[in-house]
Every structure is written in structure tokens, then in C-alpha cells.
Amino acid sequence: MARIYIGTSGWAYKAWKPDFYPEDIPQKAFLRYYASQLNAVEVNFTFRNRLSEKATASWLSDTPEDFRFTLKANQGITHFRRLKDAQESVRRFLDSIEAMWRSGRLGGILFQLPPNFKADAERLDAFLSDWPRVLRSAWEFRHESWFSPEVLGVLKKHKAALCIAETESLITPEELTSDFVYFRFRKPNYTGAERRAIAQRLERIDRAELFAFFKHEESPESALNALDVVSSLKKKAA
């Protein structure tokens, strides 16, 4: 069974009080509390912004050693350059996340491609050939043309993970292309039965590490969904 990390996309939501965060907790203490309940978080901040060493140090100090951060690749790489001639964008991004990577607490990098970006296996192969193998990557394709044997072969070649994303409009096939498995559960609502099914789905996967993130919302459902899945897994392990 994989080492399972479960969390949400982001944590700094005041609307999560009082169902997830206690009413009296200040926002500056949100991450510390979050990390006492869940063991990973997906960071969207890096999609548009540079991650400073100061912010990294603060996040690391607020979380335990076994807590993991995954970071979304900067839009300069995925949306502006669209993986082509992106060396300078990659360099700036890697410079900004170096402190997180060296901490040993970086779970991986999520590359989320634009919905109108159709499959280009050759471009993906070229990009991954230059990407540092020590930085694990997961790829969220939002155009169905990417779900082809050729693209899956490229991911397997470079030991990159297909991000298995679930939305109302698109379901990614559950193809495991790496020992690093990455799920994004993006539907607005999950019933209790669906959350239990997710827990069963995760525990069946035989890989080294698995990450699963629920969609952030201006309501506490994503965090509560994640907690419920954690609870289900703990009950099965007991």
C-alpha cells in the first residue's frame, strides 16, 4: 500500500470557520492547525507568484517533518510558453522553489495545462527531457486528446505521473505512469458513499507514494471531505 498524503488545494480560507478551523484561531495560525489534521497541501500560489525563502521557511516551521507540499508550476511555463522554449521560465521557477526542494518536504510539482492546449507528445517529451528528474512531476491534462497511448508512453519514459483529475466535465483515466500517484478530486460535492469509495480506491493502489487533493472552496466542504477520507483510511488500518 502506498504512503498516502491527503489534503486540499490551499488552506487560508476564513470561511472554513467554525466547521474546520476553530472560531478563535487567528489566520496566521491556520497552516499549523491544518497540518495537525491533514498531512499535505497543494499550493496554487506558485502558479502566478514567486515563492520566497521567507514564506518557505514560515511554512516549514508551521508543519511537521512528515508533512508535504506540492506546488503548481508557474503559468509562464504552462500557459504563456506552453512548454515550448520555456527554459528561462523554468529557471526562474526552479530558483524560487529551491529552498522548498532542499528541505525534503516537497511532494512534487503539478503541471496544469490550459483546456485549449491539445495533445503534443513530442513537445511534452522534449520538455521532460530537460526537466530535473529529481523533481517529481504530475501532469493535469484538460483536453481529452492527451489521454492516448503515445502520451502515456512519454510519461512512463520520464517517470512522470498522470494527474488523475475528476471534475464535472472531464474524468481522467486511472493510468499509473509513475511510482508517484496524484489525484485531484474537483467535483463540488461528494456524498458519504462517494468519500468511502475514494478511500477504498486509494488504499488499493500499489505505489510508493500517493497524493490526493480536494478542491478549495469558500466553504469548508473540501477540508471536511479530506478529513472524512482520512478517517475512513484510519478505520480500515485499525
Domains of the chain from N-terminus onward: 3-237 (3.20.20.410)
Query: What's residue 57's pLDDT?
Result: 98
- Among residues 115, 53, 51, the alpha carbon closest in space to that of 82 is found at 115
Predicted pLDDT of residue 201:
95
What is the spatial distance between Cα 236 and Cα 187, in angstroms, rounded to a whole number? 25
Residues 6+ apart with CB under 8 A from 41: 7, 8, 9, 10, 11, 31, 34, 35, 67, 69, 70, 213
- What pLDDT sits at residue 124? 98
Q: Which of 152, 157, 143, 196 is nearest to 174 (CA)?
A: 152
- Using CA atoms, how far residue 34 sits from 14, 20, 62, 70, 220, in Å, is 12, 9, 10, 15, 12
In 121-238, alpha helices (H): 121-130, 149-157, 192-203, 221-237
Q: How far apart are CA 17 and CA 38, in angstroms?
A: 16
Q: What is the pLDDT of residues 121-168, one digit of tens each?
A: 999 999 999 999 999 999 999 999 999 999 999 999 999 999 999 988
DSSP state of 92: H
Residues of the chain with pLDDT under 50: none
